[in-house]
Amino acid sequence: MAAYGALVSLMHIIDRLEKHPSPPISIHKQQVESLTQNVTFLQDFLDAYISPVVDDHEADSLERRIADAVYAAEDVIESQIVLQIHNRSTIRGKMSSFIKLFRARCKCAANYINAAEDFYHDLQQVIEEMNSISTAADQLQRKVSSTHAASSSTVIKKDVLEIVAAAQLPRKVSSTHAASSSSVKESMMVGFKEVLLEVLDKLTGGQRSRQIIPIMGMGGIGKTTLARHLFEHALVKEHFDICAWTTISQTYNVRETLREVLFQASGDSGSDLNEVELGEKLYKYLYDRRYLIMRLTSQLRESYGVGMKFLDEASSWDLFTNIVFGGESFPHELENIGKNIVANCKGLPLSIATIGGLLAKSERAREYWVRIEQNLNSIVITNNDEFCLKILRLSYTYLPNYLKPCFLYMGVFEEDRRIRVSMLKKLWVSEGFLKPVSGKCLETIGEEYLKELVDRNLILVDKLGEFSGNIKFCKIHDLLRDLCLKEVEKERFYDIIEKSPSVIDNERRRVVFQNVGRGVISEVSRSLSRVRSIICDDEGKNFVRPHNFRLLRTFKAYDRDSHPFGGGSVHFLGDVFQLVNSRHLDVTLHRKSKFPSSINLLWNLSTLIVQHSTLHESWDMIRCSSVLRWHNITAPIEIWKLHQLRHLEFVIDELILPDPPSEMVIMENLQTLKGVMNLYLNEDVVQRIPNVKKLHVIYKYKGLSKVKQTERANSFSYLECLSKLENLLCRFHYGCDEYLQRLTFPHSLKKLNLFLYYHAELEEILEKIGWLPLLHKLVLDGGTFKTGKWDTIEGQFQSLKLLQLNFCQGLKSWTMAESSHFRVLQELRLRSLDELEEIPSEVGEIQTLKSIYLEDCSESAVESAKKIVEEQEDFQGDQLDLHVRAVVPKRHERLQSLASPNFEVTVRG
């Protein structure tokens, strides 16, 4: 909810003001204490609060009042921060003479006194409003607590409590809306027969001990329908002595639940019994009998439960045709449009059943069906509010409050968008949605929040990271996104601008521009005096210079997933850095832009991502970057003072970091440092960035004096001191021999990419790499095997899952004593190894190996891969887990004759 997210965000602001080494603002101690007490109390209150207007189309008035008060507090505090920062920077700019400086300081002192008085007064008014809200919330909380206490009891028989509590999670919906005609219910089981049989087997498999079988899946996936089919199945009725169905609502009552189960089991209503007596009686009745208690299924994912997945294309079509036409044939003129409608339902039975039911009762005219296709999601959401929308809305309504802002934020991204998780977590951090937990960084908390939303089937996993198991890309189903947008509109959480609005609300906190013209953006921007977030999903190509956004915290005007080669509007860093309240800046940089020293004014900056405006070359050209002329940018020394900085990323551009100042500021939050050229590491630098996890650096010989070359080379002995480093990418240009000789690695390393010049010797480098205990991904690009051979050593590469060798010259002989050298290897990728005689046969004996990829390798290497496949087929048969793909030049097209189901050969023309 907007209120809870606002409270967490305000607490972030208060904490950062106190912890910042040079705070630009101070708040009266008593006001800080009062604000903190109010925020903490209201967070705890909302954690237990059940809104009386949960299904209403209007926002809850109490939550709205809390949000407004918190927004007012943010406005007062951050406006004062911005004012003080600009006043100080203005004075620095007027220091041309002593008299001017004296006058400026006198004027500033007078202004400061007046501003401080106004600030104290304004903030006190907000605090008084929050005190009033807290008092009202406390009274409501006491009233609810006394009501609950009157109906509660203290003890209940353990076994009976397990029967009920194991079959319930609080805040579940009643099943009254699940009723439908028998024909529709039968149709709804299309595609789920295997799941039905799986659960039947679990229920009737002869297990004597009590078992709990959760059924999981997204709202509308068919969990209740499956439960009904199971409950009414003949095998179930024959197997169990007693069958009872109970429903658990959001405000469930244990006594009433026990009464319901007792009545269905024995016919005794137990109306005169209290909770304890009911528990005792039910326990005695069920004792030594075989019983089944069915309740509404959970949307939480359990490791031991049964998951219901989306329908595949064929099952979706069968369900649709059964509902619309029953046993009749499908009209030919409607078939294509019907398939489009089904495809847009994306395998969700609720969506298919709703649209199918509508079309079954409507005219069979193509024009009408086309209108349905064009408005499918809105029809599903609004066609039967008592069924469709309530089922979907429950997924949101019964979320823990700390997850609600993160879920609502998913509507920011356009339909069908693959969402990069690392980017999503950065945005959650900048928005202030993540509640701090002692001992955990905010990104870890964001990862946990994401997994919770996935486990609740509200976010879909699109792609997992290579071998890490972490979610790399995610998605949200169209219907859930539409639900997000409805709740967002109700709570005024953010605004999506797709055309010029008739009324422009100057209270907007977050604005998303989607494919709108520059005129609309200009019109809307004039009213955004309090905006905190601006996100453009179309490269920001129509977004003009960011001005008049003095309180802006998140400015995302570029997306590398949607537009990997740059483009769109470009910005000068000097303009962007005027947004002194910024937390997250993601922009395309003008090629003539320079790094201003005013970066130190961005006291709260956590993420800076910069893309070069002239990046239009393909990624294949990047490895040849020595022939490209990238724009180098030198950062000012003030960059080392950014205490809150977490991610500094220069995409392709080469950022030159100066040596740090003598003043020691530990950048303890810094986790990502990408696109840095000739990074100088020494004891001082390593101490300042102790928690870096991802480091991408470039080293060039050109332009450095001999002394500088030696200094940079020696710095590589300090690399192993970065004890939190997990991901390292190093690109070495010609002449960096000394760098490689001193290259050491921390044992924390999990991913390593090395791009080397032609003469770099690989044998010694691989010797160092092989002993890294946690390394699971290794990419070597370039370099030379001087001896012509690579003999792997027992005990090395024990965690390696991906090995990729590209353009490694001179490798003729690769020998392995046994498969245990790469005991968990899953993927082997070899590219342009035209001298390699063969892949060791021991590679085929690695039990975890799933794929081998060869591109432009020697004929003998390809033939050896074929031999590996044949040997494994002799042991395992045709159903081999190993798949090999070879891409060969046209001169080797004869190798196509080796192709088989497990061995793919592609000839490049």
Residues 536-587 pLDDT 10s: 865 555 566 556 788 999 998 877 766 655 555 777 787 888 888 899 999 8
Torsion of CA 647, 488, 224, 243, to 10 degrees: 90
- HSE, CB side, 13 Å, CA atoms: give it for residue 759: 7
Q: What is the mean pLDDT of residues 230-251?
A: 79
pLDDT at 313 over 90: no
Mean pLDDT of 302-320: 79
Q: So what's the pLDDT on residue 814?
A: 93
What is the pLDDT at residue 20?
67
pLDDT value at position 334?
A: 86
What values do phi and psi take at 159, rounded to 5? -65, -40
Give the separation between CA 147 and CA 85, rounded to whole angstroms: 51
What pLDDT score does 157 carry?
Answer: 37
* Lowest mean pLDDT segment, chosen from 248-252, 255-259, 474-478: 248-252
Which element (helix H / strand E) includes 299? none
pLDDT > 60? residue 185: no
Q: How far apart are CA 613 and CA 558, in angstroms?
A: 11
Nearest to 827 by CA among 868, 883, 771: 883
* Residue scoring higher pLDDT (431 or 519): 431
Per-residue confidence (pLDDT) for residue 100, from 0 to 100: 56
Q: What is the tens place of the pLDDT at every residue in 334-358?
A: 888 888 888 888 788 877 877 787 7
Q: Which amino acid is at 815?
A: T
Strand partners, 295: 246
- Retrieve residue 299's tokens: 């949307």
Q: What is the pLDDT of residues 744-787, one digit of tens each?
A: 899 999 999 999 887 888 998 898 899 999 999 999 999 999 99
Q: Which of 153-157, 204-208, 692-696 has the lowest mean pLDDT?
A: 153-157
pLDDT of 564 reads 56
Quick one: pLDDT at residue 389?
Answer: 66
Return the H-helix or E-strand segment holding 642: none
What is the rounded CA–CA span in Å between residue 277 and residue 334?
Answer: 61
Q: Kindly indicate the confidence band of residue 868, based on its pLDDT and cuts at 50, 70 and 90.
A: very high
Q: What is the CB-side half-sphere exposure of residue 511 using CA atoms within 13 A?
A: 31
**For the range 699-705, what are the long-range contacts, defined as Cβ-Cβ under 8 Å and sequence gap of 24 or more?**
699/730, 699/731, 699/732, 699/733, 699/736, 699/739, 700/733, 700/736, 701/733, 701/734, 701/735, 701/736, 702/733, 702/735, 704/678
Centre a 10 Å sphere on the Cβ of residue 744 and count the other Cβ atoms it contains.
11
User: One-letter amino acid identity for 870?
Assistant: E
Percent of the chain with pLDDT over 90: 29
Residue of higher predicted confidence among 307 and 166: 307
Q: Which two tokens stand for residue 862?
A: 């390809």
Rounded mean pLDDT, 794-810: 92
Q: How crowded is residue 336: how many other Cβ atoms within 10 Å of its Cβ?
A: 11
Question: What tokens were used for 65?
Answer: 């009042």
Express each pLDDT in 145-176 by its tens digit.
Answer: 666 555 444 333 333 333 333 322 222 333 33
User: Beta strands of 437-594 (E only): which ranges?
Assistant: 460-464, 471-475, 495-497, 510-513, 533-536, 554-556, 584-589
pLDDT band at residue 599 using 50, 70 and 90 as cut-offs: confident
- 807 sits in the region (left: phi over 0; alpha: psi -120 to 50; else beta) called left
CB 841 within 8 A of CB 871: yes
Choose between 810 and 237: higher pLDDT. Answer: 810
pTM score of the predicted model: 0.78
Q: What is the mean pLDDT of residues 462-490?
A: 85
Do 661 and 694 contact (CB within 8 A), yes or no?
Answer: no
The closest alpha carbon to 211, from 301, 309, 299, 290, belongs to 290
What value does the mean pLDDT take over residues 273-281? 86
More confident residue, 768 or 383: 768
> What pLDDT is attached to residue 162?
36
Amino acid (1-letter code) at residue 217: G
**Residue range 132-140: mean pLDDT, rounded:** 90
Q: Per-residue pLDDT tens for 613-644?
A: 654 443 344 444 444 445 678 889 999 988 89
Scanning the structure block, which residue is given the tokens 């990104």? 443
Q: How would DSSP label each residue in 74-97? A: HHHHHHHHHHHHHHHHHHHTTTTS
- Calculate mean pLDDT across residues 801-829: 90
pLDDT in tens, 25-81: 778 889 999 999 999 999 999 988 877 775 566 788 899 999 999 999 999 999 888
Check if the beta carbon of residue 513 is closer than 8 Å to that of residue 521.
yes
Query: Tell me, what's the pLDDT at 215?
Result: 81
Residue whose tokens read 């009386």:
52
Instruction: Give residue 106's pLDDT.
Output: 57
Question: What angle do helix axes 158-165 and 254-266 make, rounded to 10 degrees?
Answer: 100
Q: Give the closest residue to 776 by CA, choosing from 466, 441, 518.
A: 466
Q: Which of 582, 610, 583, 605 is nearest to 594 (CA)?
A: 610
What whole-number distance in Å separates Cα of residue 177 and Cα of residue 387?
A: 6
Q: Is the pLDDT of residue 826 over 80?
A: yes
What is the pLDDT, as a whole number, of residue 816? Answer: 87
Q: Which of 255-259, 420-424, 702-706 has the lowest mean pLDDT?
A: 702-706
**Alpha-carbon span 482 to 333, nearest angstrom:** 30
Predicted local distance difference test score (pLDDT) of residue 55: 58
| Whether the predicted pLDDT of 802 surpasses 60 | yes
Q: What is the DSSP letter of 389?
A: I
The answer to whether 747 and 775 are in contact (CB under 8 A) is no
pLDDT of residue 715: 75
17 phi and psi angles, rounded to 5 deg: -65, -40
Predicted confidence (pLDDT) at residue 706 exceeds the cutoff of 80: no
